[in-house]
Amino acid sequence: MIRFEQVSVTYEGAAAPALRDVDLTVPEGELCLLVGPSGVGKSTLLGAVSGLVPHFTGGTLRGRVTVAGRDTRTHRPRELADVVGTVGQDPLAHFVTDTVEDELAYGMESLGLPADTMRRRVEETLDLLGLAELRDRPIATLSGGQQQRVAIGSVLTAHPRVLVLDEPTSALDPAAAEEVLAVLQRLVHDLGTTVLLAEHRLERVVQYADQVVLLPGRGEAPVVGAPAAVMAH
């Protein structure tokens, strides 16, 4: 579902590439955990999947990244909305509307869907994420875990086949983090969504992962495998 072929990313003015010669395959319907120390290129790798790198960051991407067969360099991130949904670290930075319901609807705006389909998808997503009772609430009044679920919901209404999240639990207390991870697990198991998630506190997430990708840094190749095998590395 996600494939990297010999991918290197170099930002303008940087002495060394942020990613070097990465080969990676994430099968459909798996939850893949991306780990590694700060600065090794986790966000860059996620950005190459969502198309933000290099469209919005500048720099150059060599090699090829495809998501559901679409090359993320030749499609604008907007054109990938029904393929890949991206949730950043800070849900507040993500929001463009006031209420929960409006935010979920906003994620579909570029897709040109009929009004009744959009309404149905909002309802379905409110239920899926346990947000139905919060639909009219201003997002600013929600807890961190609730806000993170709204951020996830706002990209899910586009029915992306891949969901990319950058440290979605790092700002959350353990209970809220569990809520968010339970939602991700449900997406993988019930809808067959492919989830790629970067975290630096891997102990929280590793039990949910089908595959772990470790970026060791220092220009070394990624270590890819089942959680137990990579943890033993």
Contact residues toward ligand ADP (CB under 6 A) are 11, 14, 18, 36, 38-44, 57, 117, 120-121, 124, 156, 159, 191, 193
- What does the DSSP assignment read for the chain? -EEEEEEEEE-TT-SS-SEEEEEEEE-TT-EEEEE-STTSSHHHHHHHHHTHHHHTT-SEEEEEEEETTEETTTS-GGGGTTTEEEE-S-HHHH--SSBHHHHHHHTTGGG---HHHHHHHHHHHHHHTT-GGGTTSBGGGS-HHHHHHHHHHHHHTT--SEEEEESTTTTS-HHHHHHHHHHHHHIIIII--EEEEE-S-HHHHGGG-SEEEE---TTPPPEEE-HHHHHT-
Q: How far is the CB of 82 from ligand ADP (least distance, A)?
A: 9
Q: How far is the CB of 204 from ligand ADP (least distance, A)?
A: 17
- Nearer to ligand ADP by Cβ, of 99 and 193: the residue is 193
- Nearer to ligand ADP by Cβ, of 36 and 88: the residue is 36
Q: How far is the CB of 162 from ligand ADP (least distance, A)?
A: 10
- Nearer to ligand ADP by Cβ, of 84 and 138: the residue is 84
- Nearer to ligand ADP by Cβ, of 175 and 233: the residue is 233
Q: How far is the CB of 49 from ligand ADP (least distance, A)?
A: 12
Q: How far is the CB of 141 from ligand ADP (least distance, A)?
A: 25
- Nearer to ligand ADP by Cβ, of 132 and 175: the residue is 132
